[in-house]
């Protein structure tokens, strides 16, 4: 499996999807996340851009992870503008059961944003209804509130840390967090209403205008206050089930792992 990550050699790309000891990870699903998937990516040559190119992958760990002392559940790699996070399958399903916004989006990506997928990745997508529940209200609103706080409580790290600091000094708040805040609330409302995550955003122009500093802090706060109220109403009136289907989630996880290791054994 060789993905095409622009600006990186095939060798470097392959290295990013290993266990750190040059052993390739068994990736079952990978795709873009963040601003590329939302349609709000601003290239690094744009004056107000602080965007990384974000990728998420899900892998099945070796058998010793499940039967022995294997513990590594997450790998995070940053190279140039690429920011990559890789979740072990059981960890990923656990986050889905909590309706974690970042991982939920991997099951609703438009086709063009998937980088790789095998039959197990497709099984996760085909069974995404397992994870559709009213839990979304607490997770999406909670993540949104975190962005609300971070708009004015600054922490500058990573690829664009210094540039982001200068933009905050220019606009008086972190515009990128402001855009995340509004997006998360809208996605949460849509999900509670329809049971679908619209990852690629029709409101991308509005979100980009927030990222570009075209909204004041007060405008963002007013919009967020309105959306927090709408999210609560969407939760009250939602027809989604109260919680995800834990039994089906466990059955799916076991089915994938058993099939994978049976297949691996037959090849040995």
Q: In what order do the strands lie in the sheet with 53-60?
A: 74-79, 82-88, 53-60, 26-33, 114-117
Q: Which of 48, 46, 51, 52 is closest to 170 using CA atoms?
A: 48
pLDDT of residue 11: 86
Residue 149: Cβ within 10 Å count: 10
* Chain segment 96-106, per-residue pLDDT in tens: 999 999 999 99
Using DSSP, state whether 82 is helix, strand or coil: strand
Q: Which of 59, 74, 51, 69 is closest to 124 using CA atoms?
A: 59
Rounded average pLDDT over 205-216: 96
The b-or-e profile of 74-84 (16+ CB within 10 A means b, else e) is ebeeebebbbb
* Chain segment 3-34, per-residue pLDDT in tens: 778 878 888 888 899 988 888 999 999 999 99
Rounded to whole angstroms, the Cα distance separating 32 from 237 reads 32
Residue 6: Cβ within 10 Å count: 8
Q: Which of 92, 112, 115 is closest to 102 using CA atoms?
A: 92
CB 157 within 8 A of CB 174: no
pLDDT of residue 138: 98
Torsion angle defined by CA atoms of residues 204, 206, 210 and 213, in that order, rounded to the nearest 10 degrees: 110
């Amino acid at each position: 499996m060789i993905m095409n990550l622009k600006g990186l050699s095939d060798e470097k790309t392959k290295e990013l999807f290993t266990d750190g000891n040059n052993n390739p990870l068994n990736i079952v699903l990978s795709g873009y996340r963040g601003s590329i998937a939302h349609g709000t990516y601003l290239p690094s040559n744009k004056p107000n851009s602080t965007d990384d190119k974000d990728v998420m992958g899900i892998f099945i760990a070796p058998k010793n992870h499940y039967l022995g002392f294997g513990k590594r559940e997450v790998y995070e790699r940053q190279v140039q503008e690429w920011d990559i996070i890789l979740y072990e399958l059981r960890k990923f399903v656990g986050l889905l059961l909590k309706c974690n916004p970042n991982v939920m989006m991997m099951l609703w990506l438009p086709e063009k944003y998937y980088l790789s997928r095998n039959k197990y990745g497709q099984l996760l997508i085909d069974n995404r209804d397992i994870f559709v529940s009213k839990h979304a209200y607490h997770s999406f609103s909670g993540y949104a509130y975190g962005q609300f706080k971070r708009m004015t409580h600054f922490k500058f790290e990573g690829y664009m840390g210094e540039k982001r600091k200068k933009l905050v000094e220019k606009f008086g708040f972190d515009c990128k967090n402001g855009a995340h805040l509004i997006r998360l609330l809208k996605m949460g409302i849509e999900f509670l209403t329809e049971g679908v995550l619209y990852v690629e955003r029709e409101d991308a122009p509005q979100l980009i205008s927030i990222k570009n500093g075209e909204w004041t802090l007060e405008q963002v706060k007013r919009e967020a206050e309105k959306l927090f109220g709408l999210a609560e109403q969407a939760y009250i009136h939602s027809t989604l089930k109260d919680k995800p289907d834990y039994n089906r989630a466990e059955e799916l996880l076991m089915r994938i792992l058993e099939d994978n290791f049976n297949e691996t054994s037959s090849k040995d």
